[in-house]
Structure 1
Amino acid sequence: MKALVQDRLGPPLDVVELREVPAPRPGPGEALVRMVAAGIHPGDFFFTQGQYPEAKRPVLPGQVVGNHGVGRVVETGGRADLAPGMLVAFSAGRVWAEFAAIDARALIPLPADYPAERAAQLMPAITARDVLTASEVGPGQWLAVTAGHSLVSSLVIQMARRRGVRVLAIVRRRIQDRDLTALGAEAVIALADLAVPLAEAVRAATGGQGLSGVVDAVGGEVLTQLLEALGFKGRAVVVGAYDLRPFQAGALKVLMDLQEIRSYVYRYFFDPPAPGDADYLASVLAELADPEIEVRIAGRWTLEDHRQALEGATFRPEGGKHVLVFED
């Protein structure tokens, strides 16, 4: 079968190549899935560079790349509620390939007519729902969201708007055809346009109210400034790290303002969905399928065209998601 494989650590554009490899043979408890679509996500870049925890690092050489996707069941792995041909989504490994052997417990059944490209973005949607919940920001309070043009952040903005949360979106620069206020952001700060420290701009944008929560995918000085603007009992949720430089937090401010700084990684990164997650997953899937929720797709690519997909995801991530497709 065709697959995208890496033999050494590095950015995807440097190490990922298309190769013919043997089709996987599912082991005990594993299902065989024929891939339909897979989104290219920041986590895939962390993975190829070996930046994940030890249990989730590439096994080299010959590591098939890719962490999240959607496919059709070929073999059920003994799971009674699955059937051949069923559409499923999953967080797993080795999915940038025509077939994948996946822990059957990890498969999330989908309605037969669920849009495949949206299903391929289920894990970002789960992340958006989870980090919004973890921020504990309530109606009328301010939430700052960095990397505002990214899929996770744009979903946070839209989900927050539906819940009455006031959103301050922070972006590197303004993009002509991207209006985050149309998605629900009450204010937008472009870092490229700043003439004052970000913390000062945040206080001005919120009318002096300050922030009740932060969802940050950047780190570094941006997070330092947002923590400065974070208010009493505020919560910062770190979901990404575009800037690998350390951020700073004043210990006394964190202590006296009863603040929390939390980390978040994919809900199903280490463990498969639990039986009790069914209602939660149905709720996220329903919100993701809502046509009023924007899920911007920048490109659809075959495995043969993977370099164009990786170039778009690397150099133009604000344009939308790039999706690998495996069937018409």
Structure 2
Amino acid sequence: MKYIHFQNPGDADVLQLSDMPAPTPTAGEVLIRVAAAGVNRPDILQRQGMYPAPRGASPVLGLEVAGEIVACGEGVTQWAVGDTVCALVNGGGYAEYALAPEAQCLPIPASLSLQEAAAIPETFFTVWHNLFQRARLKEGETLLVHGGSSGIGTTAIQLAYAKGIQVFATAGSEEKCAACEQLGASKAINYRGADFVDDIKQLTNGRGVDVILDMVGGDYIQRNIAAAAHDGRIVNIAYLKGSKATVDFMPVMLKRLTLTGSTLRAQSPAVKDTIARELFEFVWPLIESNNIKPVIAVNFPLAQAAAAHRLMESSQHIGKIVLFNQQ
């Protein structure tokens, strides 16, 4: 099979199309003929040598795919050869074939294409786990999403809005802010020309927001604390501006804040199974009814993975970047 390979960490140009044997499913796994695979920030970090694959996971890039099941390992009961699925994979998505645990596969909603479906797993698993499981976000609350125009951001805005939550977002251009508001944000703040702390205080009559989803870090860590309401929850899922900061923790105590966060790839199969089941129960009906739809920025052929990575690193896109196999 064809797959994207890199010999040594480096910039996007280290990515090359190569050949290797297709994998064979073991017990509890399915083999998927990959129609499309999502591109995510962890892929960039892995290529740069800063996010190695966990023990036992495929070293090939790619954490989410969509396609047709072509083989099932021993004991697989949920799926059969010929089923089309989208799946959260433990690596290996940038290829013509990829393995997935059967519990991390979900049926493709009828409203979506294969390329749209490939943009779901990593992003929706991450948003659901962090906002609704960890932060306990609920109807009637307020949410601030940093990086609102990213794949994670566009998903978080849509999902929270559909659940009856007032959403605010930050983004780096007027075009991106407009896109966030079209997806359901009450107000998107251009961080290049405004202080989101001041704006959030004004937008909430001084109260602050109940939950903040942050992938920026750095000086945002202290500013998030200032923008949070009493009993607020702040969730970090990445640190694009760094994970170290000088922080005054007194407001954390006085506001009774909860600071939390997670990475998805290292979570146990049991946790991922639970997320998948909850997504199917609570989110899939919203996708099927077209209340939520992945926002796709660009689709690239698999061989152009380097161009896809360069676009992601430029942050010029809105929504998800997807690789597809020309079959």
Q: Same fold (TM over 0.5)?
A: yes
Q: Corresponding residue for 2:312?
A: 313
Counting matched residue pairs gives: 322
Cα distance in 2 for partners of 1:277, 1:176 equals 30
Q: Which has the higher contact order (CA 8 A, sep 6+)?
A: 2
TM-score (norm 1): 0.86
Tell me if 1:69 matches 2:68.
no
Q: Corresponding residue for 1:170?
A: 170
Kept after mapping to 1: 8 A contact 2:154/2:319: no
Aligned-pair CA distance for 1:54: 6.7
Secondary structure in structure 2 of the residue aligned to 1:175: helix
Cα distance in 2 for partners of 1:155, 1:112 equals 18
Q: Corresponding residue for 2:106?
A: 108
Secondary structure in structure 1 of the residue aligned to 2:269: coil
Cα distance in 1 for partners of 2:101, 2:263 equals 19
Q: Corresponding residue for 1:260?
A: 258
Tell me if 1:295 matches 2:291.
no
Aligned-pair CA distance for 1:317: 4.8
Cα distance in 1 for partners of 2:137, 2:71 equals 43
Q: Corresponding residue for 2:29?
A: 30
Cα distance in 1 for partners of 2:241, 2:157 equals 21
Secondary structure in structure 1 of the residue aligned to 2:188: strand
Secondary structure in structure 1 of the residue aligned to 2:50: coil
Identify which range, 213-222 or 159-168, moves more after superposition. Answer: 159-168
Cα distance in 2 for partners of 1:164, 1:84 equals 39
Cα distance in 2 for partners of 1:293, 1:246 equals 35
Q: Corresponding residue for 2:80?
A: 83
Cα distance in 2 for partners of 1:114, 1:148 equals 22
Cα distance in 1 for partners of 2:73, 2:67 equals 15
Alignment of 1:1-328 (within 5 A): 1-11=1-11, 13-52=12-51, 55=54, 63-78=59-74, 79-92=76-89, 93-110=91-108, 114-123=112-121, 124-133=123-132, 134-175=134-175, 178-194=178-194, 197-244=195-242, 246-266=244-264, 269-271=267-269, 273-274=272-273, 278=277, 280-327=279-326
Query: Residue type matched to 2:4 in 1?
Result: L
Using a 3 Å threshold, how does the CA distance of structure 1 residues 252 and 323 change in structure 2: closer, same or farther? same
Kept after mapping to 2: 8 A contact 1:126/1:284: no
Cα distance in 2 for partners of 1:145, 1:231 equals 15
Cα distance in 1 for partners of 2:185, 2:124 equals 17
Identify which range, 293-302 or 21-30, moves more after superposition. Answer: 21-30
Give the fraction of aligned pairs with identical amino acids, expressed as a percent: 25
Kept after mapping to 1: 8 A contact 2:197/2:224: yes
Kept after mapping to 2: 8 A contact 1:34/1:73: yes
Kept after mapping to 2: 8 A contact 1:37/1:116: yes
Aligned-pair CA distance for 1:4: 0.1
CA offset digits 1:137-187 (Å, max 9, x no partner): 444433211001112212211222223322221112222784322222112
Cα distance in 1 for partners of 2:203, 2:210 equals 14
Aligned-pair CA distance for 1:305: 2.4
Using a 3 Å threshold, how does the CA distance of structure 1 residues 109 and 320 change in structure 2: closer, same or farther? closer
Secondary structure in structure 1 of the residue aligned to 2:192: helix
Aligned-pair CA distance for 1:28: 4.3
Using a 3 Å threshold, how does the CA distance of structure 1 residues 228 and 305 change in structure 2: closer, same or farther? same
Kept after mapping to 2: 8 A contact 1:228/1:249: no
Aligned-pair CA distance for 1:208: 1.4
Secondary structure in structure 2 of the residue aligned to 1:128: helix
Cα distance in 1 for partners of 2:278, 2:167 equals 27
Aligned-pair CA distance for 1:243: 1.1
Using a 3 Å threshold, how does the CA distance of structure 1 residues 293 and 87 change in structure 2: closer, same or farther? same
Kept after mapping to 2: 8 A contact 1:91/1:269: no
Cα distance in 2 for partners of 1:65, 1:206 equals 41
Cα distance in 2 for partners of 1:10, 1:236 equals 32
Kept after mapping to 2: 8 A contact 1:135/1:235: yes
Unaligned runs of 5+ in 1: none
CA offset digits 1:15-68 (Å, max 9, x no partner): 321112222233444332211110111121122234337726988xxx422111
Aligned-pair CA distance for 1:117: 2.3
Secondary structure in structure 2 of the residue aligned to 1:181: helix
Kept after mapping to 1: 8 A contact 2:128/2:279: no
Cα distance in 2 for partners of 1:243, 1:237 equals 15
Kept after mapping to 1: 8 A contact 2:217/2:239: yes
Kept after mapping to 2: 8 A contact 1:227/1:249: no
Kept after mapping to 1: 8 A contact 2:151/2:318: no
Identify which range, 200-209 or 285-294, moves more after superposition. Answer: 285-294
Aligned-pair CA distance for 1:245: 5.0
Kept after mapping to 1: 8 A contact 2:216/2:239: yes
